[in-house]
A and B are shown apart, each in its own frame.
Chain A
């Protein structure tokens, strides 16, 4: 707690509204430690992470559509323009190829851009810069040109936004060496992973989820500290279990946890792994879990073919084959463009019952 107070005094001397809120909340939670934990929305977690990193390092700047005056299309960058001014927060025209290229160029020259894509669907307009200009540069230049950039924004399906606005890009970006690809679930993930991403010297694709922005999660003292970072490349075991391993990331972690509850009612103890990091993929944690449970259900929201689940299945079959007691299971988005109609959209996305069904199959418990 004292660390936080000291930090606020260091950055600019004055107490800004948000740092004061954090300080006050830290004091409050210290006093009320015995009575309950704090909660934070994913939105606030992301906002505070960017705020703290901008405060700590003047090379960090934010760029994207509506990030400044509009306060962010999803309000993730709310208050940042007012706090840091137009030299640190840039509203761009609707020109992803151009501003992404400019962001990568700025990173070449030593700055630390945080580039927002209003959704990752629009990153396709800029994908050449993400892959060819950012991911590969450190390698091609034998270490001379590293690219400390973060590409962030909502990824995957929202609600009823149709085929062109619902794709999950985890598999595409995670297949590229040179990139780091992160996918937070909880508020703690959001804070820790985004702060780590901004501090990271390599290009990071940071896949958020629009439907998680408003969700509140309990958050620890430690996670509220401005020095809090999560390691990149480490998965988190959200729920321990012994009968079946369920791996997933982002919004599906919530679904997997609900599925685990349902499975527990039927006497099946599921271990839920929140990947957090798609590249590097924490194969060690996944395999250790499968070696314990002998069964694997992998879950993702994106298209099934060549997906994240496919890589995890391959890894487990390669490294833990003799531990498997059942075929590996994949639950993913349907193999069709995202339909708009509500009933079809529901069929196109994994539901809790799909995860439960697959887990029971792996346990040879289906009818």
Chain B
């Protein structure tokens, strides 16, 4: 449980009921300091302080956005079971603190790239619920116009580069974005996210070596949820200390269920990467769902383990306790907020269900940037021919 150092302004002993005394939820930016619940463990660097600067507004927004992410993923579960979402669907519930903490530490000029568990990262980068659900259901207003699906969300205008289906591939890609940032002198960094399953991929080490040689502002973020599909980390990695696996590259192990610890670590990593090149962050996190909707998630871990994490370490519960202990809202207000969120999600789903599927002509768009009339064909090449636009 995080102990918060209360500033004198927030030290309210009596709790007046009138609204005038209670902080307004949306505009108050009173600074507060939150202690991370666990210390950071460092490899080849000095860990940052456990005292995280924040504000009342940030604390409340953490609650709201994480609750939104949670509700979105749970709604996606239902949509998948209703067969409105097809193919693969990898849900992020349990890991919200990583997405939210990272966003709080960076700007939209800093880039993020991740694998296929990307719905919440997309939301954090400024994507809308409607775009998420429309894409998941393969409709034309989806963020990839229905052509990508769950694993292929992108938002280039917020420097979110997807959304990748091949395990590990996003890491060299992320180092490449960092390369471009340095090349163009942008003073920005790239967070290349991957899981404990991907952590053993050779291409990570190749990209890390180059990043270190060329001082690229790459931050490798291992979201260690302890299972690569059905394989526990100790069965896949001789050394599951992923923050140390960079060897000559510094690393930090972070409590990934603590949004403030994540924020602090990402802030620290950004400062480091801009000056000294690559760094690895290992976020100790957990996913409540199985690997994907095709995986029950209970054949390789016990239900006790899952419910234990939910009880002891749930990231939203942690923020909720902080909000309550800082007297920023009452239980009822938070429940009302959750109700609003549910409605917001339901409304987005209803709107997405009404969105039409892509036009058949979209089959042939975006193969190239400009097709210059190159021929392309449908399944029956004599029946369906197109000139690429």
B228 contacts the other chain (CB 8 A): yes
Let me know if B149 and A160 touch, CB within 8 A. yes
Within 8 A of A (CB), among B71-128: 86-88
Let me know if A162 and B151 touch, CB within 8 A. yes
A199 contacts the other chain (CB 8 A): no
Known: A66-B229, A95-B202, A361-B382. A304 touches B377 (CB 8 A): yes
A343 contacts the other chain (CB 8 A): yes
Partner of A354 from the list B150, B152, B380 (CB cut-off 8 Å) is B380
- Complex: how many Å from CA A159 to CA B167? 20
Let me know if B148 and A162 touch, CB within 8 A. yes
- Complex: how many Å from CA A330 to CA B382? 9
- Complex: how many Å from CA A73 to CA B167? 15
- Complex: how many Å from CA A160 to CA B294? 13
- Complex: how many Å from CA A336 to CA B376? 8
- Complex: how many Å from CA A165 to CA B86? 13
Let me know if A69 and B300 touch, CB within 8 A. yes
Partner of B87 from the list A66, A124, A159 (CB cut-off 8 Å) is A159
A20 contacts the other chain (CB 8 A): no
- Complex: how many Å from CA A347 to CA B200? 38
Let me know if A334 and B377 touch, CB within 8 A. yes
Let me know if B360 and A347 touch, CB within 8 A. yes
| Smallest beta-carbon distance B224→chain A, Å | 14
- Complex: how many Å from CA A342 to CA B85? 10
Which B residues touch A337, using CB under 8 A? 367
- Complex: how many Å from CA A348 to CA B362? 11
A344 contacts the other chain (CB 8 A): yes
Let me know if A341 and B202 touch, CB within 8 A. no
- Complex: how many Å from CA A231 to CA B37? 65
Let me know if B362 and A358 touch, CB within 8 A. no
Let me know if B381 and A343 touch, CB within 8 A. no
Let me know if B379 and A162 touch, CB within 8 A. no
- Complex: how many Å from CA A140 to CA B114? 41
Which A residues touch B357, using CB under 8 A? 341-344
Let me know if B383 and A354 touch, CB within 8 A. yes
A52 contacts the other chain (CB 8 A): no
A331 contacts the other chain (CB 8 A): yes
- Complex: how many Å from CA A1 to CA B380? 47
B330 contacts the other chain (CB 8 A): no
A73 to B, closest residue via Cβ:
B229
Known: A66-B231, A347-B360, A354-B383. A161 touches B236 (CB 8 A): no
B217 contacts the other chain (CB 8 A): no
Which A residues touch B198, using CB under 8 A? 94
Let me know if A336 and B363 touch, CB within 8 A. yes
B interface footprint on A93-118 (CB within 8 Å = 1, 0 otherwise)? 11101100000000000000000000
B8 contacts the other chain (CB 8 A): no
- Complex: how many Å from CA A332 to CA B379? 5
Let me know if A340 and B87 touch, CB within 8 A. yes
- Complex: how many Å from CA A201 to CA B57? 68
| Smallest beta-carbon distance B54→chain A, Å | 36
B235 contacts the other chain (CB 8 A): yes
Let me know if A332 and B381 touch, CB within 8 A. yes
Partner of B230 from the list A69, A122, A329 (CB cut-off 8 Å) is A69
- Complex: how many Å from CA A95 to CA B237? 11
Let me know if B384 and A161 touch, CB within 8 A. no
B interface footprint on A66-82 (CB within 8 Å = 1, 0 otherwise)? 10011101000000000
| Smallest beta-carbon distance B3→chain A, Å | 39
Partner of B299 from the list A70, A95, A125, A304 (CB cut-off 8 Å) is A70
B238 to A, closest residue via Cβ:
A93
| Smallest beta-carbon distance A125→chain B, Å | 7
Which A residues touch B362, using CB under 8 A? 339, 341, 344
- Complex: how many Å from CA A218 to CA B251? 58
A332 to B, closest residue via Cβ:
B379
Besides A93-B197, A160-B87, A344-B362, 18 more A-B contacts (Cβ < 8 Å) are A65-B231, A69-B230, A91-B231, A93-B237, A94-B236, A158-B87, A159-B86, A160-B149, A164-B151, A164-B166, A332-B377, A334-B379, A335-B377, A343-B358, A343-B360, A344-B360, A347-B384, A361-B382
